[in-house]
Structure 1
Amino acid sequence: MLLIIAPSKTQDFNNSPGREGSQPALLQESELLIEELRKLSLDELGKLMKMSEQLALQTQQRINAFEMPFTSLNARPAITVFQGDVYSRIALEDYGRENLDYMQNHLRILSGLYGILRPLDLMQPYRLEMGCRLENNRGGNLYEFWGEKITDEVNSVLADHKEPVLVNLASSEYSRVIKKKNLRGSIQQIDFKERKGDSYRVVAIHAKRARGMMVDFAVRNRVQSVAELKNFEQEEYIFRSDLSSEEKYVFTR
């Protein structure tokens, strides 16, 4: 069983200075994207990513500062860097060695620049969303660039797991990079919904936080089976068998 989540735009590189980490599996592919990004002018970069001039300048500086090899001096473990709503509910500071080992084996972060990251993989600061239409040697967007590479990497991980199931806790912008027809396993969708009157609907900010809580639940309990996720009960969320299916688990509150 492998859980996937999306990255966050908010990043903090003041965390865990000098902490040792692992190397991203697809770093050579990242270098190809950096080469493409360095060809763009500041104006082109801003238009491509729909950014202000100030943000485009910061992004360009990060692109130009990208350097190999990644070390504990110039990079940080991904799980300590991302600071969005999902990550705010992952209590990294409470984890022991066994939790970290579980997380490294059972969690992946999808990324526009790095493709797919283990939690302790080192990364340098960047801004490149998966939905970006960056021209590259494989097509006109990052889905074409990353699709096969990421899916192959997921397959290699699932091959080592007793239960070859990909638990999707990522946004659609990121999860759609997975080539389902090439996936050697099944996909388990997880939805979190809020009660509004007589119905339930997904509220983005609450869903993001709930995804983080689900990751935290899996790590703390070192969950091995998708069925165990049904036991998740945090901040009043409960599993709803009447709204769920074999391919989709629905939690409501």
Structure 2
Amino acid sequence: MLVTLSPAKSLDLSPVDLTPTQPQFAQDAARLARTMRGQTLTQLRSLMAISDDLARLNRDRFRAFSDMPEAEAVKPAAWMFDGDTYTGLDARSLQPDDIAFAQDHLCILSGLYGLLRPLDAIQPYRLEMGSRLKTRRGSTLYAYWGDAIAQALNAQAAVTGTQTLINCASQEYFAAANRSALKLRVITPQFLEVKDGRPKIVSFFAKRARGAMARYIVTERLTDPDAIRGFTAGGYAYDPDLSDDATWAFTRTAA
């Protein structure tokens, strides 16, 4: 999950349009889905380290994947994903004007779809970005996406007039945004639990906090990078001593 910070604009009082949108890399998603359709159950289990039941579920999903899905077969991306980061985002409780703002500023990294906006209509799937899926472009999804995701982020930043990207994604997913091709300043919030005077990243809590940070930026309509230092959800506070130019630390006392 990535958030761009753009200059403040005048208030728009026009009705909010929450019409589902087309994913930018829909053709790539269809291409990857066809590759996944050719995987056996054994290959799916190995590729994604999942159980037999989940392998069957995902085999059936990729078999049903359509290049032109019916409306009932898709949902907006912001509501499709689960997991701790998306629990922190809690997209279902966002107001319509929050979603409209997020549509221009919040980007979701996806192994299958590359880069998604909250209202992009997608089909159910499971394909982690770190999967070693062999395609004509290489042996991993990182090789498949190359610098396409970074270039898409550059283009989106140009539209919104920003030079700053707040990285709320995991290392596995953000690695898909080729840093040599990415022209934006990247700030990565880091969330740590302090116990006995020692700060430590606890994955479960850090994931939820990254989602909550994305929500904070959206609901507060932040435009200045320095403003994210005011994030206090969950009891976190900005820690300048543990921060540097690229990584901004937020700490709290461990429960």
Q: Is the pair's TM-score, using the shorter chain for normalization, greater than 0.5?
A: yes
Is the CA contact (8 Å cut-off) linking 2:79 and 2:92 kept in structure 1? no
Unmatched 5+ residue regions in structure 2? 5-17
Amino acid at match of 1:3: V
2:142 & 2:132 partners in 1: Cα distance? 9
Pairwise CA RMSD: 1.6
- Shift in CA distance, 210/43, structure 1 to aligned 2, threshold 3 Å: same
Is the CA contact (8 Å cut-off) linking 1:78 and 1:118 kept in structure 2? yes
- Flag as ranges the 4+ runs of structure 1 deviating above 6 A: none
Is the CA contact (8 Å cut-off) linking 1:71 and 1:122 kept in structure 2? no
Unmatched 5+ residue regions in structure 1? 5-18
1:3 matched to 2:3: yes
Is the CA contact (8 Å cut-off) linking 2:27 and 2:67 kept in structure 1? no
Q: More displaced, 21-30 or 34-43?
A: 34-43
Instruction: Give identity over the alignment, percent.
Output: 35
Is the CA contact (8 Å cut-off) linking 1:66 and 1:124 kept in structure 2? yes
**Which residue is equivalent to 2:54?**
55
1:94 & 1:66 partners in 2: Cα distance? 29
Q: TM-score, normalised by structure 1?
A: 0.89
2:204 & 2:218 partners in 1: Cα distance? 22
Q: TM-score, normalised by structure 2?
A: 0.88
Amino acid at match of 1:96: Q
Is the CA contact (8 Å cut-off) linking 1:21 and 1:72 kept in structure 2? no
**Which residue is equivalent to 1:149?**
148
2:152 & 2:45 partners in 1: Cα distance? 31
Amino acid at match of 2:135: N
Is the CA contact (8 Å cut-off) linking 1:111 and 1:130 kept in structure 2? yes
Secondary structure in 2 matching 1:156: helix
Is the CA contact (8 Å cut-off) linking 1:192 and 1:207 kept in structure 2? yes
1:51 & 1:97 partners in 2: Cα distance? 36
2:119 & 2:96 partners in 1: Cα distance? 12
**Which residue is equivalent to 2:108?**
109
Post-superposition CA distance 1:144-191 (Å, at most 9, x none):
001311111111111123331121111111111111111111111110
Is the CA contact (8 Å cut-off) linking 1:85 and 1:208 kept in structure 2? yes
1:28 & 1:140 partners in 2: Cα distance? 19
Secondary structure in 2 matching 1:160: helix
Q: Offset of 1:89 from its aligned partner?
A: 2.2
Is the CA contact (8 Å cut-off) linking 1:135 and 1:141 kept in structure 2? yes
Amino acid at match of 2:61: R
Is the CA contact (8 Å cut-off) linking 1:86 and 1:210 kept in structure 2? yes
Post-superposition CA distance 1:73-105 (Å, at most 9, x none):
110001111121111122434433321111111
Amino acid at match of 1:163: T
Q: Which structure 2 residues correspond to residues 45-194 of structure 1 after superposition, within 5 A?
A: 45-194=44-193
Secondary structure in 1 matching 2:137: coil
2:73 & 2:98 partners in 1: Cα distance? 26
**Which residue is equivalent to 2:10?**
none
